Amino acid sequence: MVAYDPATASGYVDAPPRMGFFTDTSVCIGCKACEVACKEWNAVPADGFNLLGLSYDNTGRLDANSWRHVAFIEQPPAPGGGDDPRWLMMSNVCKHCTHAACLDVCPTGSLFRTEFGTVVVQEDICNGCGYCIPACPYGVIDQRKDDGRAWKCTMCYDRLGDGLTPACAKACPTESIQYGELSELRSRAASRVDALHEAGVPAARLYGHDPDDGVGGDGAFFLLLDEPEVYGLPPDPVVTTRDLPTMWKSAGWAALAMAASVAVSFLGRKR
């Protein structure tokens, strides 16, 4: 598994602090400015304007041509809460995991950890093997049909190098998407949850912020107003390559045992 220090971007001399996204869904208005800004800056191909029958969602999910996806969740009115439905909106994105399984399985080094702690695909090195796709516990990475290579959010790596904010966060009119040092964002997010609880929103909770979770914490985490499953997020994501060292060790011992049994059989036959 790729070793990584979540407090810094280890492996780089004088690395900057780890950077990330905090997405506060409580102030998302579903405007899709983040989707448009992402496509424009990164030259992501258009994916069509397909009415999916799922409220106002026309992209459906994160894929090779949708690096930001604004989900619209329409819930029926609560008992005694009037006739208006409840709307939940969330701009989803690659989580830039601390323990990233996609890095573990990439055979070409196309996927790499940047000096900002983000995970990026180098499309000129990607050979289209697709190993990273099932490895991602969030189902983020996807291949383009025309060339077979893997694509996903880079957190605008080219902009970060120039000290600029990622395009999606820059375009967000409500500051639902916030970019900055991950440690500061986590502190800010905890204060926001406390404020919502005091304001009578007990369902507010953070998702992906815990360094002790199954992926070591996410570089892009969220404030949610309902259970993660409501937003299409796994409730307890685990890095899919967690057991690889144990599996390889077991396979090695099994191979040695088999070799030993073959040798004993051969020597016995020779006698």
Q: Binding site, residues?
A: 28, 31, 34, 38, 94, 97, 102, 106, 126, 129, 132, 136, 153, 156, 168, 172
Cβ neighbours of 130 (radius 10 Å): 16
Partnered with residue 206 across adjacent β-strands are 223
What is the rounded CA–CA span in Å between residue 249 and residue 251?
A: 5
Binding residues for [4Fe-4S] cluster: 28, 31, 34, 38, 94, 97, 102, 106, 126, 129, 132, 136, 153, 156, 168, 172
Q: Please report, as a single letter, which amino acid is at residue 18.
A: R
Sign, CA dihedral 45-46-50-53, equals: positive
Residue appearing with tokens 């969220």: 222
Cα–Cα nearest to 151, from 164, 136, 161, 163: 136
What is the rounded CA–CA span in Å between residue 126 and residue 132?
A: 11
What is the rounded CA–CA span in Å between residue 89 and residue 30?
A: 6
- Which residues lie below 8 Å from residue 236, measured CB to CB, with a gap of 6+? 213, 214
Nearest-10 Cα torsion for 197, 202, 206, 212: 100
